[in-house]
């Protein structure tokens, strides 16, 4: 099978008009915080059990088309000895892998950051692919201040995303490109729109320079929302501003835009997705999700680290996945 055929098959399996991507790729420090909130110790066994419960949810594949795994999770198995990647694919959920190595300050650009992990990426992708991963995810983050992101920050982060995407496609791995404009701060929705437009322009310029095939990637952006200290926008305004920015910046060749939830709660993220799809008209891309906390939070609070809660945990996840599937179609009603 040629690399192009391999990439297209993954896109075919991941992208449709009803399903989305589940992100369970929290790093060890992040999932430790999530577990601490429910008084559960973040041991390797607890992490394995929790994630295997999620991936074995009956009928999850009706609403979820892909799952982003952490490196540790890709190597784990369920109680019956099946790898968690295989467990996902049993329901036609494509396994993927987070490949970045976290972020740090960008030199000469105060307030901006840069993500690490390009060194050895091609070799790591070979190993991930052998374990069943068919797509990857890399996140760059952009803080909003009066002066950030800087021109250097825009350029450097776009270059990292483009280089990562090119390495992935050469390996037959579909890249999820995630430029996240953070919600932190008291900026208004217009400032978020302005920054996100600059970010996406720089990202697609870099992707073009690095000859990344737009038909064989997925974009994972933020929605256009006010800073978390304001949070005054209604779903219709979020939809209007988000679609305006996307139409100005994202080529029609991109098959799917899978929004991150950022700091949005589960209900808020679903309402906003629904409004976007109701307003999208004949948008050239699928408008879907790649949610982590906004899908997992109800399940995590149902689980509480207890095996006797596994069934209600799965039901909580399935319910949120189904509601977001309705929102994918503009058919969600909050009641």
**Catalytic residue, candidates 86, 220, 236, 244:** 220
Contact of 220 with 285, CB cutoff 8 Å: no
Task: Look at the alpha carbons of 59, 257, 174, 137 in this order and tell me if their dihedral is positive or negative.
Answer: negative
Beta strands at 218-219 and 135-142: parallel, antiparallel or unpaired: unpaired
- Is 178 noted as a catalytic residue in this protein? yes
Distance spanning both ends of the chain, measured CA to CA: 47
User: H or E segment at 139?
Assistant: strand 135-142
Contacts of 318 (CB under 8 A, 6+ apart): 57, 58, 59, 60, 63
**Catalytic residue, candidates 6, 159, 178, 241:** 178
SS3 of 264, please? coil
Pairwise CA distance, residues 207 & 251, whole Å: 11
- Is 98 noted as a catalytic residue in this protein? no
Residues with a catalytic annotation lie at 178, 220
């Amino acid at each position: 099978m040629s690399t192009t055929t391999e990439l297209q098959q993954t896109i075919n399996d991941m992208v449709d008009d009803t399903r989305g991507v589940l992100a369970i790729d929290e790093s060890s420090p992040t999932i430790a915080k999530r577990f601490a909130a429910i008084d559960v110790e973040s041991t390797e066994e607890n992490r394995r059990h929790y994630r295997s419960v999620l991936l074995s949810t009956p009928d999850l594949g009706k609403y979820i088309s892909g799952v982003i795994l952490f490196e540790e999770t890709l190597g784990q198995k369920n109680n019956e000895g099946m790898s968690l990647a295989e467990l996902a694919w049993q329901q036609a959920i494509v396994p993927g892998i987070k490949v970045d190595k976290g972020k740090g300050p960008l030199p000469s650009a105060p307030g901006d950051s840069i993500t690490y992990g390009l060194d050895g990426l091609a070799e790591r992708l070979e190993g991930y692919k052998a374990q069943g991963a068919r797509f990857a995810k890399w996140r760059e983050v952009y803080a909003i201040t009066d002066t950030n992101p800087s021109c250097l920050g825009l350029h450097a982060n776009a270059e990292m995303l483009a280089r990562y995407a090119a390495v992935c496609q050469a390996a037959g791995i579909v890249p999820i490109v995630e430029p996240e404009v953070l919600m932190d701060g008291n900026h208004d929705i217009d400032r978020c729109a302005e920054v996100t437009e600059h970010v996406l322009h720089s990202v697609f310029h870099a992707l073009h320079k690095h000859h990344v095939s737009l038909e064989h990637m997925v974009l994972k952006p933020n929605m256009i929302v006010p800073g978390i200290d304001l949070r005054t926008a209604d779903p219709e305004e979020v939809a209007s501003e988000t679609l305006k920015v996307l139409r100005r910046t994202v080529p029609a060749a991109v098959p799917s835009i899978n929004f991150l939830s950022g700091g949005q709660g589960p209900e808020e993220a679903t309402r906003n997705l629904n409004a976007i799809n109701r307003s999208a008209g004949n948008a050239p891309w699928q408008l879907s999700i790649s949610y982590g906390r906004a899908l997992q939070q109800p399940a995590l609070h149902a689980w509480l680290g207890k095996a006797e809660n596994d069934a209600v945990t799965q039901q909580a996840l399935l319910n949120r996945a189904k509601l977001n599937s309705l929102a994918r179609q503009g058919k969600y009603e909050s009641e």
